[in-house]
Amino acid sequence: MTKLREFPIEGKYGKYGGKYIPETLVPAINELEEAYEKIRNDSDFKKELDYYLQNYAGRPTPLFFAKNLTDYVGGARIFLKREDLLHGGAHKTNNCLGQCLLAKRMGKKRIIAETGAGQHGVGTAMAAAVLGLKAEIYMGSIDIERQKLNLFRMELLGAKVHSVDSGTKTLKDAINEALRDWITNVKDTYYLIGSVVGPHPYPMIVRDFQSVIGEEIKYQIKNFTKRSPHALICCVGGGSNAMGTFFPFLDEKDVSLYGVEAGGLGVRTGKHSATLKEGSEGILHGMRTYLLQDEFGQINDTHSISAGLDYPGVGPQHVQLKDMERAEYVTCNDNEALDAFFKLSKLEGIIAALESCHAVSFAMKLARKMKRDENIIVTLSGRGDKDIDQVMKYRKKYIGR
Amino acid sequence: MSYLQNNRIEKKFYQLKAKKQKGLICYIMGGYPNPIACERIISSIVDGGADIIEIGIPFSDPIADGPVIQEASFRALQKGVTPQICLNLIRKTRKRYPDLPIVIMTYSNILQKNGFRQFMEMAKEAGTDGFILPDMTIDESKKYLEYSKNLELASIFLVAPNTSNLRIKKTLAVSTGFVYVVSVFGTTGMRNSFNKYTLTAIKNIKKLSSNKKNISVGFGISTPDHVKLMSNYGADAVIVGSAIIKKINGNKDGSIIQLQNNLRNYVKSLKAACTN
C-alpha cells in the first residue's frame, strides 16, 4: 500500500491538488518545482535553514505539559506545542524563512505574499528583511481595517502593503490579487504562499517547511512517555500548522489526528469557515479541493472570530485525509474558542491566538472522554496579543449576557 | 492534431481565410449590465461585424482578469446573474443567429460545480460552440478534453508569451476552434502599446502551428491599429473584451439605443481593420 507520506504523487493527493493556473504561471510553477526538488535534499540548504530556525526564530519550540489544564479537565494529559513562542508570534515564520531562502537560491529578489489577519504578512516581512529581500504584501481592505497593528508591523519591517478593494476585500481576494501580480511580474517575482494551499508544489513545500513542528514533537514526547501521542489536535484554516504537525505521524495509525475548523456563529447559521465539514469539491486558487461555495460555484463569504481561519478553501492534502478517514475534522464555534482563550490564560498563563484556541477547546472536550494515562498534543499555532482588542470587544457582550 | 468538422468556429475561420479576412472576436459579460440590455448589446456587436461572440459567465474570483472585467463580474453577480441566465442568453442568441460561433469564457469551478460533463452538455444544448477556461491547463484537461470531443465542443487553450516551444506544440495539438494567445504578461485589460515580446510570441506560435491551427490574440487589444499590428504578425483573429465593457460602463447616462450605436460603430471600425 502507498504510504500517506509519499503524497503528492504527480502533484496530487488522490484526486485533489493539481495545477489549475493561468498559462503565464506555468513556467514559474515549473521553475519552482525544479528548484525545490534540487534543494529539498541539499544538506547546505538544510544547514542554512536550520541556522535561521534556531538562531533567528528560536527553534526548537518547547513541548509543555499543561498540568493545570489537564487537572481542570480531568482526563487525558494535554501537552502544548508552543509555536506561539516562535519569532513573529506564530508558526508562519517556519514557512517564510524556508521559502525566502528558496527564493534567494532561485535568484528572485522580489517577494509577494497575501495575508488575512496579517500573521503571514508579518512573517514574510521579517524573513525578507533578515535575508535582504524586498517584500510586497497584499491584504484585503476590510482585513486592514480589522488588523491595523499588523499593517504597521509590516511597514516597520520594511514591507510595502497593498490594500485590496476587490470582491469581498478579505483573504481570498488578497490571494487573487497576489496571483494577478505574479502573472504580471512573473520573471523576477517569487510568490510566497502562506498555507498548504495553491497549485502544486505549494501545498507540499509549505507542508515540508512546517513539518519541523511534528518532527520536534516526535522526539520531545519521549521525555514524557515511551509511546507516540494518542491524539494530535490543530486548528485548520488553510491548514498549515495542522499539516506540519500531522505529516510526520501520517503513517502511524495509532496516532489520531483531529483538525478543528472555525464554526463561527454555528455551522447552521451559514456564518462559519468550516470548509471540510460543510464544503464541497471545487477548483480555486490553483487547486482542486473543498470549498465553501453556493449552488452555482460562486465562492461564499466566510466568518470566524479569528481572521486566520477565515478562508473558504482548505489544503488539498487535508481533503485526502478526510476522504480516507485518516484524520477527523470537527468544528468549534466563536464562543467556545473564546472560552478556551480565557481558560488557557488563567490556568496556564498563556494568551494564545484565537485560531489556536479552537484546537484547545476541542482538546478539552476530547480529553474528558479519554483515559488519564493517554496523551493529547495541541499545537498552539500562535500567540494571542494580536487578538486582545477583539477579545475585549467580545468580552463585553459575553459577560453582559 | 484534432479538428472539429462540424463546429461553427472552425467553419467561420475557413470562410474568413477564403475571404482573406482576419476574424474579430468580441467578449461580453453574460447578463451585464442587465440581461435585457445584454441581448441588445450582442445584436449590435454582431451587426457591427463581430465574427465570434465570447460570453463570459461571471465568477466570484476571476484571477486572470484585470479591473474592468473583475468589476463587471462582481456587479453581474450582485445582480443575481447565474450560469443558467447566461445559457439562456446563449439560447436566444443562437435562435437569432443560427451560424454565429458562440464561445463561453469562464473559470473551471463553474463547470466543476455541476460536473464538467453535465455543464458542457447543457451548454451544448443551449447552442455553445466551445469553452475558454483560463485556469484550465492542458495538464489537468484529460476529462475536459474527452467531453469536448464527444460533444464536438471546441476546447480553446491559452498560450502565454513565456510558454515553451514544447508546450506550445502540446497545446496546439489539443486545442480545437482556435488557440488563444495571451498577448502580454498580465491580466485582461486595455494597454496603450505592446512590447516587442508580444509580436515575437505571435510570430513564433504562428510558425509552430504550420497554419494548421487558428491563432487568436487577446488581452489589451482595443484599437484598429492594434488589430492591424497583431494581424501583420500572423494573428488569424483578435479578441476584444475590456474595451467593450468599458464602452458599456461609459454609457451610464445615455440611452440603450445610443450605446448600441456606439458599440456597432466601434465594432465596425475594428472589423474594418481586419479586412484590409
- B32-62 residue pLDDT tens: 999 999 999 999 999 999 999 999 999 999 9
| Statement to judge: residues A40 and A176 lie in one domain | yes
Residue A46 designated active-site: no
Residue B232 main-chain phi, psi, to 5 deg: -60, -30
With CA atoms as reference, report the closest residue to A62 among A194, A223, A211, A207. A223
Does residue B121 fall inside a structural domain? yes
Which residues span the domain enclosing B116? Answer: 8-265
Decide if A58 touches B, using CB distance below 8 A: no
Nearest residue of A to residue B62 by CA position? Answer: A176
| Statement to judge: residues A84 and A218 lie in one domain | yes
Cβ distance of A284 and B82 shorter than 8 Å: no
| Whether residue B252 has pLDDT greater than 90 | no
From first CA to last CA, the distance across chain A in angstroms is: 54
A291 contacts in B (CB within 8 Å)?
Answer: 109
Q: How far is CA A388 from CA A171, A353, A360, B237, in A?
A: 21, 9, 17, 58
Residue A381 designated active-site: yes
Give the residue-averaged pLDDT of B91-120.
Answer: 98
pLDDT in tens, chain A (401 residues): 789 999 999 999 999 999 999 999 999 999 999 999 999 999 999 999 999 999 999 999 999 999 999 999 999 999 999 999 999 999 999 999 999 999 999 999 999 999 998 999 999 999 999 999 999 999 999 999 888 889 999 999 999 999 999 988 999 999 999 999 999 999 999 999 999 999 999 999 999 999 999 999 999 999 999 989 999 999 999 999 999 999 999 999 999 999 999 999 999 999 999 999 999 999 999 999 999 999 999 999 999 988 889 899 999 999 999 999 999 999 999 999 999 999 999 999 999 999 999 999 999 999 999 999 999 999 999 999 989 988 988 877 766 54
| Statement to judge: residues A25 and A174 lie in one domain | yes
pTM score, whole prediction: 0.97
Radius of gyration of chain A (CA): 19
What pLDDT score was predicted for residue B139? 97
Cα dihedral angle (A297, A303, A307, A312), rounded to 10 degrees?
-20
Residue B188 main-chain phi, psi, to 5 deg: -65, 155
Give the residue-averaged pLDDT of B108-119.
Answer: 98
Does residue A1 fall inside a structural domain? no
Q: How many CA atoms lie within 13 A of B264 on its CB side?
A: 10
B164 contacts in A (CB within 8 Å)?
Answer: 27
Cβ distance of B83 and A297 shorter than 8 Å: yes
Q: Closest to A297 (Cβ–Cβ): which among B110, B135, B161?
A: B110
Nearest residue of A to residue B73 by CA position? Answer: A167
Q: Which of A174, A206, A238 is the last residue of a domain?
A: A206
With CA atoms as reference, report the closest residue to A303 among A273, A279, A275, A330. A273
B185 contacts in A (CB within 8 Å)?
Answer: 24, 183-187
Q: Closest to B61 (Cβ–Cβ): which among A24, A183, A299?
A: A299
Only one residue has cell 505539559, namely A65
Which residues span the domain enclosing A353? Answer: 60-89+211-400
With CA atoms as reference, report the closest residue to B108 among B74, B78, B71, B143. B143
In angstroms, the CA B179 to CA B159 distance is: 7
Q: Is B178 strand, coil or helix?
A: coil
What pLDDT score was predicted for residue A401? 46
In angstroms, the CA A83 to CA A85 distance is: 5
Q: Closest to A23 (Cβ–Cβ): which among B61, B113, B182?
A: B182
Catalytic annotation, pick one of A114, A177, A348, A355: A114
Does residue B272 fall inside a structural domain? no
Q: How far is CA B204 from CA A111, A148, B163, B199, B200, in A?
A: 31, 49, 11, 9, 6
In angstroms, the CA A360 to CA A343 distance is: 10
How close does chain B come to A185, measured CA to CA in Å?
7
Cβ distance of B64 and A22 shorter than 8 Å: yes
B-interface mutation test, from A185, A283, A299, most B Cβ less than 10 A away: A283
Radius of gyration of chain B (CA): 17
What pLDDT score was predicted for residue B1? 57
Cβ distance of A24 and B77 shorter than 8 Å: no
**What is the grid cell recorded at A55?**
538562531
| Statement to judge: residues A193 and A297 lie in one domain | no
Cβ distance of A281 and B82 shorter than 8 Å: no
Percentages helix, strand, coil for chain B (3-state, rounded to 5) are 50, 15, 35
Cβ distance of B113 and A166 shorter than 8 Å: no
| Whether residue B109 has pLDDT greater than 60 | yes
Decide if A104 touches B, using CB distance below 8 A: no
Cβ distance of B110 and A184 shorter than 8 Å: no
Nearest residue of A to residue B74 by CA position? Answer: A167
Q: How far is CA A216 from CA A196, A220, A222, A248, A359, in A?
A: 19, 6, 10, 10, 19
Q: What is the CATH number of the domain that holds A163?
A: 3.40.50.1100
Cβ(B238)–Cβ(B225) below 8 Å: no
SS3 of B215-261: the string is: EEEECCCCCHHHHHHHHHCCCCEEEECHHHHHHHHCCCCCCHHHHHH
B186 contacts in A (CB within 8 Å)?
Answer: 24, 180, 183-184
| Statement to judge: residues A306 and A380 lie in one domain | yes
Q: Are strands B179-182 and B158-159 parallel, antiparallel or unpaired?
A: parallel
A-interface mutation test, from B69, B75, B77, B135, most A Cβ less than 10 A away: B135
Residue B253 designated active-site: no
A-interface mutation test, from B137, B179, B182, most A Cβ less than 10 A away: B137
Q: Is B110 strand, coil or helix?
A: helix
| Statement to judge: residues A82 and A176 lie in one domain | no
Cβ distance of B109 and A293 shorter than 8 Å: yes
Q: Are strands A287-291 and A280-284 parallel, antiparallel or unpaired?
A: antiparallel
Decide if A174 touches B, using CB distance below 8 A: no
Does residue A162 fall inside a structural domain? yes
Q: How many domains does the structure of chain A reveal?
A: 2
Q: Are strands A12-13 and B23-29 parallel, antiparallel or unpaired?
A: unpaired
Q: Closest to A21 (Cβ–Cβ): which among B74, B112, B137?
A: B137
In angstroms, the CA A304 to CA A298 distance is: 19
| Statement to judge: residues A108 and A248 lie in one domain | no
**What is the grid cell recorded at B236?**
488569424
**What is the grid cell recorded at B84?**
443558467
State the pLDDT confidence band at B2, using cuts at 50, 70 and 90.
low
A-interface mutation test, from B81, B111, B113, B143, most A Cβ less than 10 A away: B113
What pLDDT score was predicted for residue B3? 66
Q: Using the Cα atoms of residue A283, residue A289, residue A293 and residue A296 in order, give the sign of their dihedral.
A: positive
With CA atoms as reference, report the closest residue to B197 among B183, B217, B207, B211. B183
A181 contacts in B (CB within 8 Å)?
Answer: none
How close does chain B come to A218, measured CA to CA in Å?
37
Does residue B246 fall inside a structural domain? yes
**What is the grid cell recorded at B40?**
441588445
Does residue B123 fall inside a structural domain? yes
What pLDDT score was predicted for residue A233? 98
SS3 of chain A: the string is: CCCHHHCCECCEECCEECCCCCHHHHHHHHHHHHHHHHHHCCHHHHHHHHHHHHHHCCCCCCEEECHHHHHHHCCCEEEEEEHHHCCCCECHHHHHHHHHHHHHHCCCCEEEEEECCCHHHHHHHHHHHHCCCEEEEEEEHHHHHHCHHHHHHHHHCCCEEEEECCCCCCHHHHHHHHHHHHHHCCCCEEECCCCCCCCCCHHHHHHHHHCHHHHHHHHHHHHCCCCCCCEEEEECCCCHHHHHHHHHHCCCCCCEEEEEEEEECCHHHCCCCCHHHHCEEEEECCEEEEECECCCCCECCCCCCCHHHCCCCCCHHHHHHHHCCCEEEEEEEHHHHHHHHHHHHHHHCCCECHHHHHHHHHHHHHHHHCCCCCEEEEEECEECHHHHHHHHHHHHHHHHC
What pLDDT score was predicted for residue A273? 96
Does residue A307 fall inside a structural domain? yes
| Whether residue B144 has pLDDT greater than 50 | yes
Does residue A321 fall inside a structural domain? yes
Cβ distance of A19 and B137 shorter than 8 Å: yes
How close does chain A come to B73, measured CA to CA in Å?
10
What is the count of residue pairs from A and B with beta carbons less than 8 Å apart? 112
| Statement to judge: residues A292 and A217 lie in one domain | yes
Q: Which of A169, A189, A206 is the last residue of a domain?
A: A206
Cβ distance of A281 and B162 shorter than 8 Å: no
Q: What is the CATH number of the domain that holds B38?
A: 3.20.20.70
From first CA to last CA, the distance across chain B in angstroms is: 30
Q: How many domains does the structure of chain B reveal?
A: 1
Cα dihedral angle (B70, B72, B77, B78), rounded to 10 degrees?
110
Catalytic annotation, pick one of B10, B54, B129, B236: B54
CB atoms inside a 10 Å sphere around CB A199: 27
**A128-A25-A299 Cα angle (round to 5):** 90
| Statement to judge: residues A225 and A308 lie in one domain | yes
Only one residue has cell 496571483, namely A179
| Statement to judge: residues A100 and A49 lie in one domain | yes
Q: Which of A173, A188, A206 is the last residue of a domain?
A: A206
B-interface mutation test, from A20, A23, A300, most B Cβ less than 10 A away: A23
CB atoms inside a 10 Å sphere around CB A31: 14
Upstream peptide bond of A229 is cis (omega within 30 degrees of 0): no
What pLDDT score was predicted for residue B6? 80
Decide if A279 touches B, using CB distance below 8 A: no
Does residue B1 fall inside a structural domain? no
| Statement to judge: residues A153 and A280 lie in one domain | no
Nearest residue of A to residue B162 by CA position? Answer: A24
| Statement to judge: residues A281 and A395 lie in one domain | yes
A26 contacts in B (CB within 8 Å)?
Answer: 137, 160, 163, 167
**What is the grid cell recorded at B17?**
481565410
Q: Which residues of A383-400 are buried (b: 16+ CB within 10 A; e: fewer)?
A: bbebbeebbeebeeeeee
Cβ distance of B182 and A166 shorter than 8 Å: no
ipTM over cut 0.85 = yes
Does residue B97 fall inside a structural domain? yes
